[in-house]
Structures are given as structure tokens and as C-alpha cells.
């Protein structure tokens, strides 16, 4: 690697490069037609540092959270906003008053992983015992909040799961430096109904989990918390002595049954469900799996793939199958299928670039590519919607049609960089005509950096609607 390459951090250049201003724009231009019934906000969170002390050591997952949102109503894109989530340190850096008082100043970190709505409120989320922050409808910071907070210091994590059949919001939360994880169940308003504490020795990194109708699935892996790595900014390491396993626990709490797996890390889950197989009851869970040696400092180096695990609850074994061997991440499913059988799933392709020829080439060594993937898990087929050279796309979110007649009757929304404009579009695809022309391209006035997770949050300021956090 050249000196220039080390100096120019890929997460501070190209499509990852943070933006430096907050922008508000109204009445956005649109190419195509926005489905008239869509009424809500498309929101997405991601790291956007205000300043970096050591560019060579900076990682993508570090930096204050910035939420990007588009308000859609009546076939129009009414506004676009991007706003930093104002933790105490962010407010200080911006020369503003602090919003609210954190429980612990040491853990007052600007959440940069997820943004979701619940009961008419908006939350920016992270994990590791760091409290969520509440935002108002127009994405201004209200302050730290107690969503999912328990007396032991846990709170709602980045990948909460909303069960549309029960109205419950579930979280599986871990704390840095603790051998316990906590399953937290909230009611439709976000109040904690019950908690279950599970001992998982070694403090593994449990970023995501899965639900079925009657069970919670926990993913243990060789990626563990390491105090020795705190100075690097990412306190995790791969422990070669440790195996991988999946735990099955009743949703109401109780003993966890552990099933051995090949070494690896679950990046994110698509969905899970129960069924009766030839040998008795089974659980099927579809995951994006990172292989051995996963290193969060080098996204994509472990070549994550879409895999299916079939857990034989009678025989005590897991069958591991590869669904698609393309490198991909950020799986999404119709959230109305959470915990129930699904046919379709959507992921973002990840491209591994060769090292650039010189410092003038600002392509990252790896990152999200120019394609979203639609997987038909019954037919075993995959379609790719490609956005053209340098049309970089992030996570795609499925939004059902007004009166869906099939599981894939709806839309996939994503921020896509438009190299012709030097800015980003919010693209709306027909999920049933996935490779066809987008239904609409909403033209934003600025670039949206590659980021992490988001959601479609239906309703307006007065709507007390429960919407999924994922």
C-alpha cells in the first residue's frame, strides 16, 4: 500500500466522505411518478464525523450520527433534511445548547446506526448500552431517551424487531464488558413489558437477532469485546479459540438451547420462522454470514453471503446452506412477515475493488456497489437492479403497496448516488418489476454518504402509528 493510500482513508473519501453542512430543501424535483398513497418519511442514519483527529486511523462506524430524511405525501416530495444527532459532544462542537441530560456522560454518544418510528415518535439508535436519542418530526434532536431502558443499564438496540402480529417491539441488548445479554420486550408505546437476562460468557458482539412466532434466536460468535482494543476505537477482536452457535429461547423467557455452527459472524438477519420438517419441528433463519477472520475495520473482506440455517429442534442439529454466494449485506424483508414464512428478500450488493492505481482515483477499496438484489427463496432465483457505473446504492427498504395482493406487491426505496448530478436520489422501485425503470427518482440537492440503516415511517406529525424498527 502506498503512502498516499494510507494517508487517504477510504471512509473519508469518495461515496463514504462525510458531508459538512445541514441542508433543508422543499418541493424536490421528481423524475417519474411517486405512488400517490405513500404518506410518510423515508429516513436513514449513518456515521458523519464533524472532525477527525487521525484520518489514517478513522473507521466507517465511527462519527456522529446524521439522519437523512425525505417527506412524501400526495405524490410529492415535500422536503429533504439532514441533521446531526446532537449528543452533548455534538452540540458542543456546533456551539449549541445541549438537549437533555444523559444518564452517563461516558456513554453519551450520538447514535449512528439506525433510525425508526414508534407510536408517533422518532428514535436514533445504536447499541452497547448507549441510550437512543429522540428526534422530532423534522429530525431536530429532542434529547436522550429511555426507550427500552432497564435497571441493569440496557436499552433498545440498533436492530429492534417489531412483531406486527402482537404489537410488541423486541430488542436483544448487550453491554460492553458484560457476559450477559438481555431480551427486552416493549408494548406498542415503547414501555418495557418484560426482560430476560441470558448469560453468554466472553461478551460476544451480538449486533442482530431474530424472532419466530414462539422463539428468540441469539447468535454467538468468535467476535468478542476486547478491552485491549479500546484505543483503536473498535473494541472487538476475532477469538480463534471460540466457536459459533445459535441459541433458541422461548419468547416468554426460559432456558436457551445452543446449536453449534461453523465459525463466522451473523452480520444481519433477513427473517426467521417455524415449520414442521420431515423429522419434526424446525426453525428456518436466513442470515448474512461473514466468514472466519471478520474484521470490522475492513468491510467486505470476509465476503458476506446470504445463507440459510435450518435448526432441527428434535435432532439437535443445524443444516447450513448457501442461498446466494454474491458478496452482499443489509438484508430486508417485508416487515409484515417478521417471524412468519417469507418468500422474498432484498439485499445490497457489496463490491470488492482492486487497489487504485494512484491517488487521483478516489474509489474505496470496497463498499456498496451499484446494485440491489431481490431474492426469490422459493424459486431459488435472484434479480439485480443495477444503477449504472458509479451509481452507488445503500440499503434498500421494502414498503408494501396500499392494498398488497402478494408478498412482493410494493416498493423498494434506497438512496442512490447520481454521478451525472453529483448528488443523490431517493429511488423508488417496483418490487414486482424489479429490473424495470424506477417508478420515481426524487432528486436531492446534495450527496447522501453511504450509511447504515433506515426505515419508511408512515404518517404525519399527528399520527400515533406504530411502525417497525429493524
Phi first, then psi: give them for residue 16, nearest 5 degrees: -85, -20
Please say whether the beta carbons of 350 and 366 come within 8 A. yes
Query: How far is it, in rounded angstroms, from Cα 369 to Cα 352?
Result: 8
Query: How far is it, in rounded angstroms, from Cα 5 to Cα 1?
Result: 6
Which helix (H) or strand (E) segment is 273 a member of?
strand 265-277
What average pLDDT does the segment 236-243 reach? 88
For the chain, which domains are there? Answer: 3-458 (2.130.10.10)
Q: Select, from the ranges 2-11, 220-229, 313-322, the one with the highest average predicted confidence (pLDDT).
A: 313-322
- The C-alpha angle with vertex 346 and arms to 341 and 352, in degrees rounded to 5, equals 135
Closest CA to 207 of 267, 147, 162: 267
Query: How far is it, in rounded angstroms, from Cα 200 to Cα 152?
Result: 16
Model confidence band, residue 3 (pLDDT cutoffs 50, 70, 90): very low
239: which DSSP letter?
Answer: -
Give yes or no for residue 365 having a pLDDT over 60: no
What is the chain's length? 470
Closest CA to 167 of 339, 330, 331: 339
Task: Give me the residue label for grid cell 456522529.
Answer: 64
Give yes or no for residue 285 having a pLDDT over 80: yes
263: which DSSP letter?
Answer: S
Q: Tens digit of pLDDT for each residue in 11-58?
A: 888 888 999 999 999 999 999 999 999 999 999 999 999 988 888 778
Amino acid at each position: 500500500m502506498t503512502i498516499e493510500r494510507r494517508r487517504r482513508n477510504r471512509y473519508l473519501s469518495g461515496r463514504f466522505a462525510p458531508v459538512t453542512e445541514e441542508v433543508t430543501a422543499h418541493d424536490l424535483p421528481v423524475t417519474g411518478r411517486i405512488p400517490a398513497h405513500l404518506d410518510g418519511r423515508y429516513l436513514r442514519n449513518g456515521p458523519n464525523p464533524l472532525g477527525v483527529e487521525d484520518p489514517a486511523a478513522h473507521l466507517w462506524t465511527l462519527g456522529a450520527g446524521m439522519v437523512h430524511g425525505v417527506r412524501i405525501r400526495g405524490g410529492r416530495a415535500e422536503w429533504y433534511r439532514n441533521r446531526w444527532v446532537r449528543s452533548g459532544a455534538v452540540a458542543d462542537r456546533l456551539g449549541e445548547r445541549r438537549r437533555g441530560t444523559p444518564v452517563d456522560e461516558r456513554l453519551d454518544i450520538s447514535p449512528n446506526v439506525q433510525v425508526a418510528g414508534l407510536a408517533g415518535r422518532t428514535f436514533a439508535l445504536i447499541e452497547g448500552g448507549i441510550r437512543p436519542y429522540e428526534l422530532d418530526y423534522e429530525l431536530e434532536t429532542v434529547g436522550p431517551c429511555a426507550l427500552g431502558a432497564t435497571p441493569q443499564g440496557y436499552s433498545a438496540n440498533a436492530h429492534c424487531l417489531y412483531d406486527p402480529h402482537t404489537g410488541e417491539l423486541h430488542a436483544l441488548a448487550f453491554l460492553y464488558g458484560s457476559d450477559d445479554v438481555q431480551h427486552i420486550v416493549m408494548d406498542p408505546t415503547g414501555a418495557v413489558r418484560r426482560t430476560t437476562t441470558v448469560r453468554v460468557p466472553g461478551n460476544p458482539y451480538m449486533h442482530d437477532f431474530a424472532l419466530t412466532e414462539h422463539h428468540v434466536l441469539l447468535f454467538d460468535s468468535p467476535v468478542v469485546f476486547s478491552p485491549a482494543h479500546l484505543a483503536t476505537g473498535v473494541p472487538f477482536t476475532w477469538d480463534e479459540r471460540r466457536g459459533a452457535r445459535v441459541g433458541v429461547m422461548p419468547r416468554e423467557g426460559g432456558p436457551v438451547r445452543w446449536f453449534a455452527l461453523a465459525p463466522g459472524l451473523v452480520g444481519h438477519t433477513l427473517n426467521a420462522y417455524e415449520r414442521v420438517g420431515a423429522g419434526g419441528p424446525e426453525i428456518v433463519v436466513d442470515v448474512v454470514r461473514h466468514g472466519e477472520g471478520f474484521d470490522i475495520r475492513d468491510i467486505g473482506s470476509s465476503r458476506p453471503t446470504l445463507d440459510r440455517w435450518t435448526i432441527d429442534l428434535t435432532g439437535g442439529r443445524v443444516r447450513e446452506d448457501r442461498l446466494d454466494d454474491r458478496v452482499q449485506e443489509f438484508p430486508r424483508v417485508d416487515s409484515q412477515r417478521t417471524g412468519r414464512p417469507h418468500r422474498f428478500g432484498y439485499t445490497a450488493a457489496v463490491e470488492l475493488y482492486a487497489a487504485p492505481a494512484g491517488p487521483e482515483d478516489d474509489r474505496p477499496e470496497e463498499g456498496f456497489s451499484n446494485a440491489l438484489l431481490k431474492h426469490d427463496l422459493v424459486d431459488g432465483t435472484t434479480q439485480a437492479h443495477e444503477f449504472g457505473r458509479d451509481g452507488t446504492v445503500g440499503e434498500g427498504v421494502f414498503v408494501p403497496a396500499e392494498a398488497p395482493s402478494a408478498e412482493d406487491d410494493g416498493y423498494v426505496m434506497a438512496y442512490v448516488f447520481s454521478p451525472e448530478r453529483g448528488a443523490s436520489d431517493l429511488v423508488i422501485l417496483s418490487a414486482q418489476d424489479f429490473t424495470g425503470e424506477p417508478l420515481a427518482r426524487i432528486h436531492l440537492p446534495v450527496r447522501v454518504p453511504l450509511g447504515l440503516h433506515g426505515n419508511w415511517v408512515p404518517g404525519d406529525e399527528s399520527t400515533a402509528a406504530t411502525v417497525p424498527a429493524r
